[in-house]
Amino acid sequence: MTHRAPVTVACVQLAPVIGDALESVARIDAGVTEAAQRGAQIVVVPELANTGYMFENAGEVRGAAQALDGPYVSHLIQMAGSLGIVIASGFAELGADDSVYNAAVIVDGSGLLASYRKAHLWNTEKEVFTAGGQRPPVVDTQYGRLGLMICYDLEFPEWVRMVALEGAELLCAPVNWPRYPSPEGERPGEVVRVQADASVNRMYIAAADRVGRERGQDWLGGTVIVDTDGYPVTALELGEAHVALARLDLGLAHDKAVSPLNDVHADRRTELY
C-alpha cells in the first residue's frame, strides 16, 4: 500500500450565467480563490463553467466558444500560478478544425497540462457540439496523477476503466447534471454511478456539478468527492452553491486489492471479454 502526504481536493459548485461570460468567470474566480484559501491544491469546476449550458442553437455556442490558447484557459493558467494550485475546468472549445467541442482542461502555473473533448454527448449536445475522438487523458501534476473526463462520459464503465488502468489516482470530472425526479430519500443516480466508478477501480473521483435554473432547466447540484472504496467523503448540498473539500491520500489509489486474494484490475478476465 502506497502512502503519500495527503492532498486537499476541492470541487466548486456554482451557477454559470448563460450569455454573461464576465459574471460566470467572476463566480469561478470567487469559488477557486475560496478553495485555495481553504487549503485546496487541486480544484475542479463544472462542465461549461464559463458559458452556461442551455444554448438555443449552434450559433450561440459557437459565439461563446474559445480556442485552447484563448482568454479563458489563459486566465485559468494565470490564476493557478498565482494560487499555486492545479485547476480542472470545463469550457466550450473552438477547435482549429472550426468544430465546437464540449471540452475540459487541466492547468497549473506552468501552462496547459491536458485537454479533452467530451466523447459521449448528452441529448441536445449532439445538435451543437462535435463529439471528441480521443481517449481521456491522464497526466502527472505536482500533486498527483490526474485523469479527466466530462459528465455523461462517467456513465460508460469502459471509459472510466481506461484512465484507471493508466494509473490515474484522481479522476477530475466537470459535470452538469440536470435535476430529474427521484424516489424520496434516494441518493441521486448520478452520484451512485460515480461511487460505483470509484469502487470498481479503487480510484478517487471528484465530480464538480453546477446549480441554478437556466432557461427552464433545473440543475442537481450533486457535487461529490468519492474515495477508493466508493464512499462519498463530502456531504451532498443539492442545489446550493458551495465549495466541497476533502483531504485525500492519493497513493491509496495504487492499491487495487479488495481481499487478500483479489485485485480489481489483476482479476479481470480480458480473454473472456
Catalytic residues: 47, 118, 151
Longest CA–CA span in the chain (Å) reads 56
Backbone angles phi, psi at 143, to 5 degrees: -110, -5
Dist. CA 65–CA 272, nearest whole Å:
43
Residue keyed to cell 467541442? 101
Reference 85, options 8, 5, 22; nearest CA is: 8
182 — alpha (psi -120 to 50), left (phi > 0) or beta? beta
Reference 43, options 119, 141, 168, 110; nearest CA is: 141
Alpha carbon 204 to its chain's center: 12
Contact 70, 27 (CB under 8 A): no
